[in-house]
Amino acid sequence: MRKLSDTIARLAALKAAQRQVSHRAPRNRLKDMELTGANPGALKASTFVPDNLASGRPLVVALHGCTQSAAAYDEGSGWSDLADRYRFALLFPEQQRSNNANLCFNWFEPEDAKRDAGEALSIREMIETMVATHGLDRDRIFIVGLSAGGAMASVMLAIYPDVFAGGAIIAGLPFGSASSMPEAFDRMRGHGGPGELRLQKLVRDASPWRGKWPAISVWHGTADNVVDISNMEAIVRQWAGLHGVKISDYVSETEQGFLRKVWHGADGRECIESYTIPGMGHGTPLAAAGPDSYGKVGPFMLESGVSSTLRIATFWGLADAAHDRRGTETASQEYVHRGEILVPGALTDKLQEEGTGRRFGTKNAHAAGIQKTIEDALRAAGLIK
């Protein structure tokens, strides 16, 4: 078995360094959720519902990373600000130290990562309570997570594809890549794990679902020294096979230094997107200032010039990054990949809607400046001022 000391040391160093960024309690806009359903995973939960929210609105489930609270994750990511603006509800499942000393969701534990059991069932029951209580749209339920929360989002998307219209995995890992803590550390370092076809089979076997698969957004920093960026490619490959798209057939655009790739399904709709953020460490990409700013820089919340929160919500059809904060749009370089050939291409700027109400479209985003000279070094450590 490979030694885990280097990964543990990096986690400890990162955690210690980030304590110096902020010592104050996070702003808390969330309300504690009264749990009425089964809770075999012994999780807590908080919610955010905009005032006078109409029935039939979407729900976003947000899963925090290790050492975080639901309130800290919300403040850093800006999800409640976006929900206020675009009128949708939020559910924040929250880990307890009695389950995991570092407040990580147990995505690698078989009893917590299978349908209708453990932490996964707890989250599913919370979703059902939210939908029933607030009259939310069952066809527009989405899930996003960071790090261990991202890996748990992978779990939920795989075992409950009948529940989710889309998901987003930030600095996370593919479903089924580990079934123990030692394996989890190995996969975080980019070592071992199931092959592409095995990863796809694991999702197919995780539920009886044979319908339309959720649309997936995947985000990762190139300087992430906690969860290796190879996990992003593994996630894309896992879901590409499910959606029936070739990994080489994607459209790409480069803007402000980050790279977005998008894969279209047989119906022409976007089914997978990935964002590679150069020089960024382990955390959620933010644009804390600028025309499309949401969130606040802090532990595992990293300034990168792009708001993952806004872009993810736009990919799901819940927001509009092109016109969100009255900023100016900038042109991006777009290409179409076909096999090994790279040719100029064009992306349509419209939303397409299914009869169920699910919307996925490509939107041009606002520019947000990146102060490269100072920030690259900080991002490499997963921190920024």
Task: Give the chain's largest Cα–Cα span.
Answer: 55
Is residue 291 within 8 Å of 233, Cβ to Cβ? no
* 236, 238, 244, 250 alpha-carbon torsion, rounded to 10°: 10
Q: Are strands 141-146 and 284-286 parallel, antiparallel or unpaired?
A: unpaired
Query: Among the options 122, 147, 154, 308, which is catalytic?
Result: 147
- Of 128, 127, 66, give the one whose Cα is nearest residue 96: 66
Q: Rg of the chain over CA atoms, in angstroms?
A: 19
- Of 63, 58, 54, give the one whose Cα is nearest residue 88: 58
Strand order from edge to edge, sheet including 166-170:
31-32, 44-48, 89-94, 59-63, 141-146, 166-170, 215-221, 270-277, 258-264, 251-255, 333-338, 341-344
217 is annotated as an active-site residue: no
Is residue 354 within 8 Å of 256, Cβ to Cβ? no
- CA-CA-CA-CA torsion sign (216, 319, 251, 301): negative
Distances from the Cα of 266 to the Cαs of 157, 229, 245, 270, 359, in angstroms?
21, 28, 8, 10, 16
Is residue 59 within 8 Å of 129, Cβ to Cβ? no
313 exposed, middle or buried (CB, 10 Å; 0-12, 13-18, 19+)?
Answer: buried
Query: Which positions are catalytic?
Result: 147
